[in-house]
Amino acid sequence: MLVSERARILVVDDEPSMQEFLEIFLRSEGYEASTASDVETARAQLDVEDFDLVITDLKMPGATGLDLLRDVQARNSGGADTLVVVMTAFASTETAIEAMKEGAYDYISKPFKVDEIRVVLEKALEKKALSSENRRLRSELRGRIRERSLIGTSAPMQRVLDLIGQVAPTKANVLVSGESGTGKEIVARAIHESSERADAPFVAVNCGAIPENLLESELFGHVKGAFTGAISNKPGLFETAGEGTLFLDEVGELTLPLQVKLLRVLQERVFRRVGCTEDQRFEARVVTATNRRLEEEVGKGRFREDLYYRLNVIEVELPPLRDRREDVPLLVAHFVEKFGRRDTLRLSEAALEKLMVYGYPGNVRELENVIERAVALTRDDVIEVAALPPTVVRGQNATGRERIPSEGLQLDEALADVERRLLLEALEQSGGVKKKAAQRLGISFRSFRYRLEKLGLDESSRD
């Protein structure tokens, strides 16, 4: 393989004859070889050159091969990627085991056969090549994820990104959980694009958006005459996915009869079109998503326990945006760049401050909509507070839900603040007409007037 043929190898041995022998052998195999007669010389060479592999004797005057191994491991923790193979003529099993525990890839006992060291080197360098490829794929994955707005340097997001990188190469079913707007489909696509199935189809379906009587046909397909309106054979999404990835969004919306059929597909890896008696093989990977707590749905009898465990082999739980507020500036910058018409566009400090304290019940999707709106309403180079939606400006969650701050709150004051905001919003939506505002809030005109007076807002409206 190309990486092995051009690999750089450092030989460390206090015997000149062994240095010479290995140097000649390695170069005849197509590697680049350097030698050192002791650990200090080897460390000096490692300081100025990058080596793919170090072959070191264990017992040498002064520092030992184990000392060098530990030094290489320390360098690797700082970003280097060098494997170590140890040699010893004093091979006790204990010495070899100690070297392996310290992180050596393998060991060779002197005297050794050429074929033996050739096999060890090939396997070691194949492992290194695979490790390098995994790092490259993870880097590409992070780039694709950033393009799709799954951005963040917070600890919760770093855990998510690391988990995506770990599960993508596997065949395991994945359940992506999280509130609406956190980016569940983005995660599913990232898993697909970083897997061996990346060149195959990615097929997504929202189980809650299709009428119940049509969903089975949509998933499994149907044959001509299976039901009224089935005028021809139609493949379903299970068939369309081929050997790719089938993403079932809002899987918690499936009815119990459909849950049974999905369970059979996952267990038997076969399915049937509606109206057909023949099984078809199902080859795709299944990734599901939900904003429900499926374990609670299982407890209430609304979701099958056996299906839950089939789907939840690995769970990727996305944090709500309010739990990773330090990521808001990064997301804002990304969306400004995405929607902005010029490179000089930016947010004012006051606008960013409003965005930092808002609750985001709609999560990242809501923030994206907020920035798209703000960009559309901004004509100069600075997005000001006035371009933000009223709910963001007032610091109110779009759903009206309030969160208790860590330092606590005064309930009466908090309730009065919520009431004040709702009264003002009703007036705003009603053009300042109190009777219409009262109707929007479902209260009488007299009650509305009383509440305005109680909160000192009566001057700002008309009957």
Domain boundary among 340, 360, 393: 393
Q: Which of 454, 452, 455, 418 is nearest to 437 (CA)?
A: 452
Rounded to 5 degrees, φ, ψ at 56 are -130, 140
The pLDDT score that the predictor gives to residue 461 is 52
Based on the domain organization, do 92 and 107 belong to the same domain? yes
Domain tally, the chain: 4
* pTM > 0.75: yes or no: no
User: Which domain-ending residue is among 317, 351, 377?
Assistant: 317
Same domain flag for 116 and 189 = no
Residues 356, 235 share a domain: no
Taking 70 as the threshold, does the pLDDT of residue 424 lie above it? Answer: yes
pLDDT, residue 148, reads 52
Same-domain pairing of 253 and 326? no
User: CA angle 228-232-237, nearest 5°?
Assistant: 95
Distance, CA of 73 to CA of 103 (rounded, Å): 7
Residue 107 has pLDDT above 70, yes or no: yes
Q: How confident is the model at residue 196 (pLDDT cuts 50, 70, 90)?
A: confident
pLDDT at position 194 is 85
Last residue of a domain, one of 267, 298, 317: 317
* Predicted local distance difference test score (pLDDT) of residue 4: 42
Q: 335 with 194, same domain?
A: no
pLDDT over 50 (residue 158): yes
Among 95-99, 421-425, 437-441, the minimum mean pLDDT is found in 95-99
Q: Are 328 and 307 part of one and the same domain?
A: no
Q: Is 408 left (phi over 0), alpha (psi -120 to 50) or beta?
A: left
The answer to the question of residue 141 being in a domain is: no
- What's the rounded Cα separation, in Å, for the pair 373 and 389? 8
Note whether 126 and 203 are same-domain residues: no
Does 234 share its domain with 297? yes
pLDDT at 409: 65
pLDDT digits (tens, 9 = 90+) for 256-308: 999 999 999 999 999 888 888 888 899 999 999 998 899 999 999 999 999 99
Q: Do 446 and 355 share a structural domain? A: no
Q: How confident is the model at residue 1 (pLDDT cuts 50, 70, 90)?
A: very low
Residue 180 has pLDDT above 50, yes or no: yes
Please enumerate in sequence order all residues whose Cβ is within 8 A of that of 400, keeping only pairs 6 or more positions apart, or say none: 418, 422
Q: Evaluate whether residue 406 is within a structural domain.
A: no
Same structural domain, 286 and 431: no
Residue type, 290: T
Q: CA-to-CA distance for 329 and 352, rounded, in angstroms?
A: 8
Looking at the structure, do residues 98 and 214 belong to the same domain, yes or no? no
Look-up of token digits 């739990």: 323
pLDDT given at position 110 = 80
Rounded (5°) CA angle 390-393-398: 60
Residue 138 has pLDDT above 70, yes or no: no
Average pLDDT, the chain: 84
CATH number, domain containing residue 282: 3.40.50.300
Per-residue pLDDT tens digits for 234-251: 888 999 999 999 999 999
* Digit-coded pLDDT (tens) for 295-315: 999 999 999 999 999 999 999
Residues 108 and 22 in one domain: yes
Q: How many C-beta atoms lie closer than 10 Å to residue 301's C-beta?
A: 9
pLDDT at position 275, please?
84
Q: The domain that contains 335 carries what CATH number?
A: 1.10.8.60
Residue 388 lies in a domain: yes
Evaluate whether residue 143 is within a structural domain.
Answer: no
**Residue range of the domain that includes 75:** 2-133
Mean pLDDT, to the nearest integer, of 383-395?
90
Q: Binning pLDDT at 50, 70 and 90, where does residue 415 land?
A: confident
pLDDT at 398: 43
Residue position matching structure tokens 């409206």: 461
Determine the residue type at 126: E
With bands split at pLDDT 50, 70 and 90, how would you rate the model's confidence at 463?
low
Instruction: Give 3's pLDDT tier (boundaries 50, 70, 90).
Output: very low
| CATH code of residue 6 | 3.40.50.2300
208 vs 168: CA distance, rounded Å: 26
Percent of the chain residues topping a pLDDT of 90: 43
Please tell me the predicted confidence (pLDDT) of residue 394.
83
Question: Average pLDDT for residues 71-94, to the nearest whole number?
Answer: 77
> Once rounded to an integer, what is the mean pLDDT over residues 121-125?
88
Check the CA dihedral 222-225-228-232 and report its sign.
positive
User: In this predicted model, which residue has the larger pLDDT, 296 or 132?
Assistant: 296
